[in-house]
Structure 1
């Protein structure tokens, strides 16, 4: 398994983005909630497919009785995510959904992903998970990198994020402890399946 600093990872991605190919190289960036995946990929000169766009709508989570666990593996449309990745592997241009944190909802038809892009980066929590339909994802990606970060810093970031989107300090801390942390523990068990680890600060 390779180990990269953030600067080394960005340089490696720059090389991948210069590939001469007819179909995209699909690179996955995985890590627990609050690791900084979105922040990391936003600095890259490549189209980005966020896994969060495949959140089930709150109405459907209410039907399933899962809204209090939103963010767990079974609260996403893993099959829909896999379908998008298959189309990208085939060289199709796709317009994918994105997740709007202000609305707490996915917005369909938002992100243009050109089928002839040399590199497309997808980021999310469960790219290496092998249950709840997620086992279909890893075979569709050329490489998956795990973003590693200090857990105390990660939890502090999560609490701050939840507070930015309207939760009280108490509710934010409770959500991190009851929802985000069990997910983080699960995601950490997939670390050894990654092709590389990126050490963040």
Structure 2
């Protein structure tokens, strides 16, 4: 995987093979129990002991270095300025396409980081909760572009992250239900001064258009201290999406409350055709126009192969 364009001489990333990256684990202990893997992985992801040892334990070790360095810098700056500000949470963004495995990565990192000594408080928030309700999307003609940047209540998301970084407590985030495919009215999750916050979503590395007058235009990634992009080739992502759709057709779609209940009766051929149509109409367009262009902004890129295993790791140079 080469992050450079053909005319670039300098690669801003160091590229590691799976074997090279796995050796960086050093003596980082395995803290997950065997039974936890099933709970942490998404429906179609492959997650086992070897993947955690080879990929996520070295990443956990690297993050511990980054968090410790940030803490020391904060203390030095506080002493220099003569202030008594409280340490703010370290925020990690996890980005990538639909079906890439962002949720699995976010949950594994949360579980590993929460077991560091002395047991930091690690919270996880997905940006799904900051989507506009379906009624608003329907009114604005955005229902077919759900997950695109315009489908999110960006001011609410930015206000949430600003409050987190300011150390306010508690801060509330809306709840999203994948079953009903909508925001759950009057339900919230509270984030109360975590040591580390993981923010997962397809477009969390999205930038804004720069204003001609030079005024500040905040974007979500302004609040990140570290970011991870989950990468795979488009045909692979499409295949994963179709497999997930077929698996949901046989499970969650059978619930009468499911927004996609109408798809539960489809044959394999009909369900495959429907999944491909949805992919090409919505998810592929979002990937090409909005998600993939943000990949070079990530601190670290995990490139997966067709069997869901990470084959290369790209770490941005300091």
Task: Pick the TM interval, shorter chain.
Answer: 0.7 to 0.9
Q: Does 1:110 align with 2:214?
A: no
Query: What residue in structure 1 maps to residue 59 of structure 2?
Result: 9
Q: Does 1:64 align with 2:140?
A: yes
Change (3 A) 1:11 1:100: farther
Secondary structure of 2:97's partner?
coil
Query: What residue in structure 1 maps to residue 230 of structure 2?
Result: 147
Q: Deviations over 1:164-194 (max 9, x none)?
A: 1444332211000110001111311111111
- Higher radius of gyration, 1 or 2: 2
Q: CA deviation at 1:198?
A: 2.3
Q: Is the 8 A contact 2:89 2:195 kept in 1?
A: yes
Secondary structure of 2:284's partner?
helix
What RMSD, in angstroms, separates the aligned Cα atoms of the two structures? 2.6
Query: What residue in structure 1 maps to residue 291 of structure 2?
Result: 187
Q: Is the 8 A contact 2:126 2:199 kept in 1?
A: yes
**Aligned partner (choices 115, 120, 127) of residue 204 of structure 2:** 127
Q: Deviations over 1:85-142 (max 9, x none)?
A: 0010011232212321101012354323221x21100011112212489952121212
* Aligned positions, number: 200
**Aligned partner (choices 76, 86, 90) of residue 25 of structure 1:** 90
Alignment of 1:167-182 (within 5 A): 167=263, 168-182=271-285
With normalisation by structure 2, the TM-score equals 0.56
Higher share of residues assigned strand: 1
Change (3 A) 1:181 1:39: same
Higher relative contact order (CA 8 A, sep 6+): 1
Q: Is the 8 A contact 1:73 1:132 kept in 2?
A: no
Q: Is the 8 A contact 2:208 2:219 kept in 1?
A: no
Q: Is the 8 A contact 1:95 1:109 kept in 2?
A: no
Q: Which moved more, 1:55-64 or 1:185-194?
A: 185-194
- Structure 2 distance, partners of 1:190, 1:173, is 24
Residue segments in structure 1 that go unaligned for 5+ positions in a row? none
Q: Is the 8 A contact 2:95 2:202 kept in 1?
A: yes
- Structure 1 distance, partners of 2:62, 2:227, is 13
Q: CA deviation at 1:199?
A: 3.0
- Structure 2 distance, partners of 1:9, 1:149, is 18
Q: Is the 8 A contact 1:58 1:105 kept in 2?
A: yes
